[in-house]
Amino acid sequence: MVMMDMINSVLNWVVPPASLVMLAFSWPTLTFINTCEWLYYSFYAENMLNKVVVITGASSGIGEQIAYEYAKKRANLVLVARRDHRLHGISENARRLGAPNVLIMAADVVKEDECRRFINETIGFYGRIDHLVNTASLGHTFYFEEANDPSVFPILMDINFWGNVYPTYVALPYLKQSRGRIVVNAAVENWLPLPRMSIYSAAKAALVNFYETLRLEVNGEVGVTIATHGWIGAEMTRGKFMLEEGAEMQWKEEREVQAEGSPVEEFAKMIVSAAVRGDAHLKYPSWYDVFLLYRVYAPSILTWTFHFLMSQQGMRTTSFIGTGRSRLEAPSTPKRVTVRAPQTLQTSPRIQLIE
């Protein structure tokens, strides 16, 4: 035991700096190899003609734009969302862009039986599944201590984690048959700590670790592409959700937010291109990676930076981003927020999902 402690003490001092030096010297070679691989797989990218792609959270935002990108590659589509009223227009747009067939299905991806239903219906109609694209997501912008109703926490975890796991669980046998691919919509918050995103960050961290483990378990029979994005138009300019008014808090799903414009469209295009190339990871924008070095080797710098940025704000604010309303300033003293349904409702969902 004493010997092992001594060995670990020596390695703690030697391995980190030695690894950084090795990485610095090998960086040009690794960049060259990655570029060659990118060119090779771009040239021999998967032909999506008449392939079958299932997209969850397809009613707007990133999911909608991904549907259009697959349609341009003439893939058959299955569009899934909790409400199908917007899917009719999206399906028509996809057909005009080149999709031979488009199915639309209303389903809640946090319910395993509904996931089984839309996967079975897809197999019944097309006979196969080639790509499963999970884009369902729900964000938040509140301080953890301000939400005194913990019933909201499982809902965030359900949509951001189980809403990806359940469709994957049901579709995995069919993806193995076609040697298909799973595409995951993750976020940089899975490893980069950002204030007011505690539950969201935890869910995304669980999501990424789940798919990294699954990648090893399937051992190449099914590909996994994890797309990690920073702040893009769907989140910050239109808002993940947030309407906070007195004791009432209403939520708006990220997958249902209207989001158009270059950042979202560009990210969707990059996701589909990465999927058909067979890439394991996609980062947008890629410069966020530099913070990972700070997270591992100098976490205090990130902490100091966030503390400094938060201190410059001077006071907390209630976010109305994405609702068309102005921001309300609040005292720096934390405000307790009761999350409950409006009084006109007799049932108890503590949060109301609005589309």
**Known catalytic residue at 200:** yes
10 occurs within a structural domain? no
- Note down the domain range covering 156: 33-243+260-312
26 occurs within a structural domain? no
Structure confidence by residue, pLDDT tens digits, 82-114: 888 889 999 999 999 999 999 999 999 999 999
CATH number at residue 282: 3.40.50.720
| Total count of domains within the chain | 1
Encoded tokens for 197:
């995103």
233 occurs within a structural domain? yes
Residue scoring higher pLDDT (40 or 320): 40
Query: According to the model, what pLDDT value does residue 210 have?
Result: 97
Residue 115's pLDDT band (boundaries 50, 70, 90)?
Answer: very high
Contact 54, 167 (CB under 8 A): yes
Residue scoring higher pLDDT (350 or 138): 138
Query: According to the model, what pLDDT value does residue 192 have?
Result: 83
Say yes or no to pLDDT of 135 above 80: yes
What is the share, in percent, of the chain residues with pLDDT greater than 70? 78
Query: According to the model, what pLDDT value does residue 330 have?
Result: 41
Look up residue 60 and give its DSSP letter: S
- Give the 3-state secondary structure of residue 229: strand
Structure confidence by residue, pLDDT tens digits, 243-274: 332 222 334 444 434 434 458 899 999 999 99
284 occurs within a structural domain? yes
DSSP string, 242-261: -EEETTEEEEE-GGGS---S
What type of residue sits at position 317?
T
Which residues lie closer than 8 Å to 225 by C-beta, 6 or more apart? 181, 182, 183, 184, 271, 274, 275, 278, 279, 280, 281, 282
106 occurs within a structural domain? yes
Say yes or no to pLDDT of 193 above 50: yes
Structure confidence by residue, pLDDT tens digits, 122-133: 999 999 999 999
Say yes or no to pLDDT of 67 above 80: yes
Average pLDDT over residues 179-203: 89
Say yes or no to pLDDT of 234 above 60: no
Query: According to the model, what pLDDT value does residue 328 have?
Result: 40
Say yes or no to pLDDT of 51 above 80: yes
Structure confidence by residue, pLDDT tens digits, 289-348: 778 878 887 888 878 877 777 666 554 544 433 333 333 444 344 444 443 433 333 333
Cis peptide leading into 331, omega within 30 of 0? Answer: no
Provide the phi-psi class of 179: left if phi over 0, else alpha when psi is between -120 and 50, else beta.
left
Query: According to the model, what pLDDT value does residue 322 have?
Result: 33
Query: According to the model, what pLDDT value does residue 313 have?
Result: 57
Encoded tokens for 4:
């092992």
φ, ψ for residue 103 (rounded to 5)? -100, 140
Sheet with 352-354, edge to edge strand ranges: 243-245, 248-252, 352-354
Query: According to the model, what pLDDT value does residue 349 have?
Result: 33
19 occurs within a structural domain? no
Q: Which of 68, 70, 174, 200 is catalytic?
A: 200
**Is 0.85 surpassed by the pTM of this model?**
no
DSSP string, 282-345: EEESGGGGHHHHHHHH-HHHHHHHHHHHHHHH-S-EE--TTTT---EE--SSPPPB--B--TT-
Residue 232's pLDDT band (boundaries 50, 70, 90)?
Answer: low
First-to-final CA distance of the chain: 59
